Amino acid sequence: MTTKTLLTGLFFGLLLIACQRQANYTADAEVIAKGQQLFEIQCTACHNFRSSGIGPSLAGVTTEASPEWLKSFIKNPAEMIDGGDERAKKLHEEYKTYMPSFGMLAEEDIDAILAFMNTHQDQPELQTAADLGPPLEDPIPDTVPMSDLVLQLRQVALAPPTAEKPPVARINKMIPLPDGSRQFISDLNGILYEMKGGELQPFLKIADHFEHFINQPGLATGLGSYAFHPEFAENGIFYTNHTEDPKTSAPANFTFHDSIPRKVRWVLTEWKINDPRAATFSGSNRELMRVDMVTQIHGMQEVTFNPLAQPGDEDYGLLYIGIGDGGSVESGYPFLVQNKGRIWGNILRIDPAGNNSANGNYGIPPTNPFVDEMEMGGLGEIYAMGYRNPHRMLWDKGGDGKMLASDIGHHQIEELNIIEKGRNYGWPEREGTFRFDKGGNLDHVYALPEDDASAGITYPVIQFDHDEAGAISSGFIYYGDQIPELKGTYFFGGIVNGRVFFTKASDLALGKQSPFREAGVRLENGELTTFRDLTGINRVDLRYGFDAEGEMYIYTKADGKIYKIVGIDSTPMM
């Protein structure tokens, strides 16, 4: 786990707390300011004072819970949950996650955090829509069935540690070069590695080139993604995105009014290596764009090329970029999203070799869907809109070539979408196939209105609620030869709990929900297990990768272990 979950589950008694005495917290402005800084670094990824998300809203918590309980939970939450504390147990059941132990925090730091939280004693007034109807208590009552499929795993590598505490290696994305000659994997802490057998050798360190690079406060900050140009073997060009401190780095190309906070600044960079065959990077770089975010969450999640595009195709050499909402909706700025004139909450497509963008650093493809609206203030970069957190994009190489993108949800729904040019995928008017109250209580979803067809929303082809997993970990479609039975199977799962789901890619089609099931896992010659058992940590941070042959890998940021799927069996998982 990362410090992003400092208070995730901390207030597992919020909804169940009986009347308790109000504590006396300091009103010292300096201590409160320190507490605010600590809160923003450690807690805002999962908590705010407006709505629930990964963890509950914290407004009023210091008037409801005793400081002794709060401090005890911060120092050892698992002990309180597993030890039978009623508050901890019941809200653990609701939020379905553990937080790490933070006994290493100094007592004065905890006191400062609580003092800052004590300044938010009242729930904010929400602008709730009047015609939503009652909230849905259990939007998807069906559960994901367990299949007989069991994946046999072989550990093939262990990523070098880049942190002292879990996640010890924030390994994030694994892909081969376009020509298949080399394999790479990235660490959010700022290192792009080449995989050689079981060894990970540093190829590029972002901090060596950008002095304002930051990889804190975690939760997707750092080196977000990377992509190699289709002609990398000849031109040596590739792309990365990373976060910087907006207080010290160069101004953003895409920003907002000064009254809105900005937590991180994402930078998209083009690199040109002198020798594409070199073991480590030596060459030049140039910036394509800088984008501000309201918070550190839901930033510039993905950069990638369509691997199916060939020279002469419309898509060839065009770079896709996933831009999340930056936490703007839960921070009270939903107007930044679902807007053709703003960059947030969209999938972009740009021509890195062009220069007709506003800053002249890249091109806007003339076939993008909203190019004709640029004279009216629209962004020609937008390819598809209505996303909270477009975390991963992929194409069905072995099937019909459809483009897929996962979207990590807020408090209820996780989803996978088929992406088509110009479509609107709903956020924050929708979460999955449900209506969402973007200005009201973000904890709930509602039934769609009778006239929903007029809204022009495209709905997911897979969705599940937080009874199953709290965040979708999108994988890839297996097209290798070692396990013929898995050909055309799309694997995905839960980032936090590490469950593995699968479906046939050929079943994914617009206008319907595809059925999917859970797979079991075991090590070669081992017993059935789970990724939580394999890591020994409750926050697994599950990720998927693939190699040039289409074989698939599963890896866990919690411990840095990289597994290859080497076989299957049909032992039922009970």
pLDDT value of residue 41: 62
pTM of the model: 0.84
Closest CA to 39 of 124, 106, 115: 115
What pLDDT digit, counting tens, does each position of 472-507 carry? 999 999 999 999 999 999 999 999 999 999 999 999
Q: How many CB atoms lie within 10 A of CB 308?
A: 14
Closest CA to 171 of 202, 192, 196, 154: 192
Residue 324 contacts by C-beta under 8 Å, 6 or more apart in sequence? 293, 297, 298, 299, 300, 301, 344, 345, 387, 388, 389, 390
Indicate whether 14 pLDDT > 60. Answer: no
Q: How many CB atoms lie within 10 A of CB 488?
A: 16
What pLDDT digit, counting tens, does each position of 331-384 carry? 999 999 999 999 999 999 999 999 999 999 999 999 999 999 998 889 999 999
C-alpha of 429 from chain center: 20
Rounded distance between C-alpha atoms, residue 393 and residue 380, angstroms: 20
Indicate whether 299 pLDDT > 80. Answer: yes
Indicate whether 9 pLDDT > 50. Answer: no
Burial class (CB in 10 A: 0-12, 13-18, 19+), 202: middle
The model's confidence at residue 122, banded by pLDDT at 50, 70 and 90, is confident
The model's confidence at residue 313, banded by pLDDT at 50, 70 and 90, is very high
pLDDT value of residue 51: 67
pLDDT value of residue 42: 66
Q: How high does pLDDT run on average in the chain?
A: 89
pLDDT value of residue 6: 42
